[in-house]
Amino acid sequence: MPRNGSGVYSTPPGTAAISGELISSAKFNELVADIASDLNLPRPIIVGGTGASNAGAARTNLGVDRAMIYAAKSADYLAVEADDNAVIRFTAAATLSLTAAATLGANWHVTVTAAGGDIVIDPNGSEQINGAETLIVPQNHSATIICDGNQFRSIFLAPFIETAAAGGRNSLSGLTISNNATDAANDIDIAPGTCVDSTNTVSITLTASLTKRLDALWAAGNNQGGLDTGTFPTGTYHVFAIKNPTTGAVDALFSLSPTAPTLPTGYTAFRRIGSFMRAGSNRAFQQFGDEFYLAAPNLDVAGLNSEGTNAILRTLTVPTGINVKAMLRVRGTSSNAWGVLFTPPDVPDVVPELADAPLVDIGNSPGSPDRSTLAIRTNTSAQIRTRATTANVTLHVVTYGWIDARGK
């Protein structure tokens, strides 16, 4: 090789030309062959480069990461040196074992995403992470694991929503409920849709229509039982979209509880998507977004207000256990100048006035009726409050539906 230890090229001895002397073809050919051989040899890039002859050494000298790689895992996995700068997404609960820190080397790191259950990070032998033998990355969290050549450290990232529903926190799209056409008395249909669960950390997506039976205890699948526990007496039933985060299975369930349904084993994520009433059979209704319309509006208040000017709680045909806005058609009349104020029971009671605040919702002169359409927030007992300006008001209240934001 015509190079010294510093990589400086020099011509072979005896190859320099001398004026007036013949050039030896053998020496000339030897020189040309030597130059050609040198030009074809791999060599480090010294000026403006890294002084390395391979990609790994160049990354080390420049202090840059490997190209990021992505891998999905559904079972236990051993992280190796080649996983440096990888994002590993676990779709089920699992253990990520770490190769010895000395083998992985300083600054080796991976990002772990727990998308289907808690992930246990288990260093090699007696090595530790954050000063402990193991580390748990909770479901719907991510953490970056960093090696210092001897031990490991972690940096936790913000919680995430796996495949987040459009709209983010509290979002709900689709998942419309309706009476089943074949067995309207007992079955409820749930349309496809997506939502985030009650904790805003798990996305629940129903990809196909689902029919669940109120007259049978819950079982997985279409046309199966939907009742969480017990029997199905008269009352309000709340419909929940539920998910098993480990398997990814999505289903639906009915419960008398609006906030704490009895969930099947493994189904830990849930979200109330609607409510309906039962009185011997499921009361017929139609849903349009947050609005629920009774197929048969109900006359809930009819007749003379014998309570005078006192505040009166009126129970309506809307779901109990939750606050909704009752959609009402109201009519009144009296032999006196009169007015009636409708208010939510959860706000302070006020005295209505015909010509001053807080005024009234309906009212008129003696002997003259008045009517209106109102939407009044109920308490969890399906009640609103009415209060008249005078005694002997004849009042009629028809409930034709309700508005339920369903946690949005």
Q: What is the mean pLDDT of each run of 10 residues along the chain (408 residues)?
A: 57 70 74 75 57 58 71 94 94 93 95 88 95 88 94 83 58 94 95 91 90 96 95 91 90 97 95 94 94 97 83 97 98 94 96 92 94 97 96 94 94
Cβ neighbors of 319 (< 8 A, separation 6 or more) are 236, 238, 275, 276, 277, 382, 402, 404
Query: Using an 8 Å Cβ cutoff, are 270 and 375 in contact?
Result: no
Beta strand extents in 175-281 (DSSP E only): 177-179, 187-190, 193-196, 203-206, 210-217, 224-227, 235-243, 250-255, 269-278
pTM of the model: 0.65
Q: What is the pLDDT, as a whole number, of residue 47?
A: 45
Cβ neighbors of 16 (< 8 A, separation 6 or more) are none
Q: What is the pLDDT, as a whole number, of residue 12?
A: 67
Q: Can you tell me whether residue 60 is helix, strand or coil?
A: helix
CATH of domain 69-156: 2.60.120
Parallel/antiparallel/unpaired status of strands 77-79 and 94-98: parallel
Query: Using an 8 Å Cβ cutoff, are 260 and 370 in contact?
Result: no
Cβ neighbors of 74 (< 8 A, separation 6 or more) are 90, 91, 92, 94, 116
Q: What is the pLDDT, as a whole number, of residue 163?
A: 52
Cβ neighbors of 47 (< 8 A, separation 6 or more) are none
Let me know how many helices (H) and strands (E) the chain has, helices first: 3, 28
Alpha carbon 143 to chain centroid, angstroms:
19
